[in-house]
């Protein structure tokens, strides 16, 4: 008899919860006191106004290329790491060869040094080596276009 009473009271309580509109509509994961906005009235497709499409750029116009400035050359020159200078003499001919170590590579006078810095490829020619003083002549600088395969996902 006792179980019959318990069953009746739990069924009555469940019926009360289902009948209550607050318990039937409320999502249990909503914060306390939150109530959703009332549903917006449905709008017919004929009444809906479509925004104008954006104006297209002319397809024949080439992309704008930003010129390389003197400041870019200066920053790239500072990025070069000059480790030192070596001189060798051949004993047979007394021929002296002078090399400079730049960015962990050796270069002789007249060689071209290439450096990619800030999406720009810089090129210098090693003009002269006097003592520990190295003179570089700028040759050219061109912007590097990134390819989609070069981009990494972050």
Amino acid 150: pLDDT = 52
Q: Is the dihedral of CA 18, 24, 26, 27 positive or negative?
A: positive
Predicted confidence at residue 58, as pLDDT, reads: 64
Tens-digit pLDDT profile for residues 6-24: 655 665 555 555 555 555 5
**Rounded distance between C-alpha atoms, residue 122 and residue 58, angstroms:** 32
Segment (H or E) for 137:
strand 133-143
Give tens-digit pLDDT for 17-46: 555 555 556 788 888 888 777 766 654 544
Q: pLDDT below 50 — which residues of the chain?
A: 43, 45-46
Instruction: Report which secondary-structure segment, H or E, holds 8.
Output: helix 2-19
pTM for this model (two decimals)? 0.54
Q: Please state the domain extents for the chain.
A: 70-143
């Amino acid at each position: 008899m006792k179980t019959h009473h318990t069953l009746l009271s739990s069924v009555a309580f469940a019926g009360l919860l289902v009948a209550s509109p607050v318990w039937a509509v409320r999502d249990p994961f909503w914060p306390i006191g939150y109530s959703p906005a009332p549903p917006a009235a449905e709008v017919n497709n004929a009444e809906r106004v479509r925004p104008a499409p954006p104006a297209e750029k002319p397809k024949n116009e080439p992309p704008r290329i930003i010129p390389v400035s003197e400041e870019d050359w200066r920053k790239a020159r500072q990025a070069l790491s000059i480790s030192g200078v070596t001189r060798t003499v051949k004993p047979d001919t007394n021929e002296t060869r002078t090399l400079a170590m730049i960015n962990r590579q050796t270069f002789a006078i007249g060689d071209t040094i290439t450096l990619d810095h800030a999406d720009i490829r810089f090129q210098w020619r090693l003009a002269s080596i006097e003592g520990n003083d190295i003179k570089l002549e700028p040759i050219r600088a061109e912007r590097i276009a990134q390819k989609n395969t070069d981009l990494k996902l972050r």
